[in-house]
Amino acid sequence: MKQSIYNYFIEKGSILYSFNSISCNYFKTTIANRKNIYSILSSPEDYKSKFPSFYQTLINGNFLVDDTCNELDTIRNSYKKAVNNQSAMLIILPTFDCNFRCWYCVQNHNSKVMSLDTIEKVKKHITYIAENENIQNIHIEWFGGEPFMYYKEVIVPISLHAKYVCGQRGIDYVNTATTNGYLITEAIAKELDFLNFKFFQITLDGDKEHHDKTRVATNGSSFNTIIKNINLICYHTTKANVMIRINYDDKNLNTEEIFNQISDSILPEHRKKIELLFRKVWQVKNVENADDKIKYLIKKFEDAGFRYNANNDLVLNSRPCYVSQKGMKLITPNGTVEKCSAKDDFETKPLGHLQADGTIKWLNDLPILDIFSQPLFENKMCLSCKHLPLCMGPCPRDIDPESINSTKLYCKNRSNDLKFTDSIVLWCDAN
């Protein structure tokens, strides 16, 4: 047996965290035991008979692997299984338009709204998927623009159709949404359970002062309205959770204001439904002491009854992004079909078009879904990186659909300022 190359040993206070990133198995011991653990992992056969139970624990947790084991092949097999799963995911944009104009947004907002004709094509596509693809579930993610600008016109009819079609065929169906939360009324909140909404990602831009300057409302504070609507979602839904995504930059990561303003406004009974996520605005490179501030906020929010899901900071499903999943497609208001939502050329460089019968006509002769499911970590940079199982390689957004060989690869780094070791400790403490 030999030691896995994807073992982490992290010291925090008097605790030693031992974590394997392929299996996500871990154990905690005191720092005093680190020398013994290192000795056993360095020369496992010398300790096999002396500590048989612990020896087996190390094998079961992938801390020790067979001498012939190629761990990169293990990662490749996990990736292949993940991208070919029996799930269909549709990201649907009812509109490109938005009621806010956040300075960091990548999209070009215009007033284009999904037409009745395109809505019918979307419905036909959902029926086509249910009837012709070997799937176990359909997940619709509402995106934009701001999707709830056209809740009644687009979200409701498509959701009702999907619910009916999936119900007829015994396919699980779930709705989720990425929304600014400003337009969710009490009437809408009361309908969310019926439409199978299970999750919302709603963004706040740091503290109230900075948020209201970024998301300018025509009447009053958008921060206050969004917090009120989060409470409405939590009150009127039985199963839906809300992720409050805090976008931070070099000016708005004010810890006490952020914590006090959110915790003072979210009812205590709703906090168990709410998790926090911290993401640095991509245009900003450096935020002073961000890692310490984020860790401080995480503890404050957890102590107050909120949740922090460390899974969001580590790739634990063996694929770098939803884009890699073969069963994932994005449908724009124009009826064009894409893969990635984080782009601004939906109208000028579409990958395909929805047809009247619910099929897709791809505009490239290459198998688009195969191109986007290519393992981009097959490069010297990634294959030699210890963090590979927790990252799974470059961002698929930058794939060149003309040729995978012309795609320019670069390390996508982290979307917040926490180190991998910080995220591992948070994950271990939560599991």
Q: Give backbone dihedrals phi and psi of 35, rounded to 5 degrees, phi first.
A: -65, -40
Q: Which fold has domain 72-431?
A: TIM Barrel (3.20.20)
Above pLDDT 70, what percent of the chain?
Answer: 100
pLDDT at 131: 96
Give the lowest-confidence range in 80-84, 160-164, 227-231, 369-373.
369-373
User: What average pLDDT does this structure show over 389-404?
Assistant: 84
**Tens digits of residue pLDDT in 64-85:** 999 999 999 999 999 999 999 9
Distance CA 36, CA 14 (A): 16
**Tens digits of residue pLDDT in 324-376:** 999 999 999 999 999 988 877 777 778 999 999 999 999 876 788 888 898 99
pLDDT at 187: 98
pLDDT at 228: 98
Mean pLDDT of the chain: 94
pLDDT at 282: 87
Distances 95 to 79, 343, 402 between C-alpha atoms, Å: 33, 14, 28
Residue 277: exposed, middle, or buried by beta-carbon count in 10 A (0-12, 13-18, 19+)? middle
Residue with tokens 């109208």: 347
- Look up residue 104 and give its two tokens: 């960091």
Sorted by sequence, the CB contacts under 8 Å of residue 44 that are 6+ apart come out as: 1, 2, 3, 55, 58, 64
Is 90 exceeded by the pLDDT of residue 198?
yes
8 Å CB contact between 323 and 396: yes
Q: Give backbone dihedrals phi and psi of 225, rounded to 5 degrees, phi first.
A: -65, -40
Closest CA to 22 of 429, 391, 422: 391
User: What average pLDDT does this structure show over 123-128?
Assistant: 98
Is 90 exceeded by the pLDDT of residue 395?
no
Tell me the pairing of strands 15-20 and 25-30.
Answer: antiparallel
Where is pLDDT greater, at 407 or 288? 288
pLDDT band at 153 (very low <50, low <70, confident <90, very high): very high
Sorted by sequence, the CB contacts under 8 Å of residue 72 that are 6+ apart come out as: 383
DSSP 8-state secondary structure symbol assigned to residue 87: E
Give the lowest-confidence range in 110-114, 365-369, 381-385.
365-369
Residues of the chain with CATH 3.20.20.70: 72-431
pLDDT band at 44 (very low <50, low <70, confident <90, very high): very high
pLDDT at 305: 97
DSSP 8-state secondary structure symbol assigned to residue 151: I
Residue with tokens 């310490």: 292
8 Å CB contact between 18 and 7: yes
pLDDT at 407: 78
**Tens digits of residue pLDDT in 133-144:** 999 999 999 999
Where is pLDDT greater, at 105 or 137? 137
pLDDT at 400: 79
**Tens digits of residue pLDDT in 239-282:** 899 999 999 999 999 999 999 999 999 999 999 999 999 999 98
- Look up residue 400 and give its two tokens: 């060149």
8 Å CB contact between 141 and 90: yes
Distance CA 129, CA 127 (A): 5
pLDDT at 425: 96
Distance CA 157, CA 119 (A): 8
pLDDT at 306: 97
Q: Give backbone dihedrals phi and psi of 421, rounded to 5 degrees, phi first.
A: -65, -35
Distance CA 415, CA 327 (A): 25
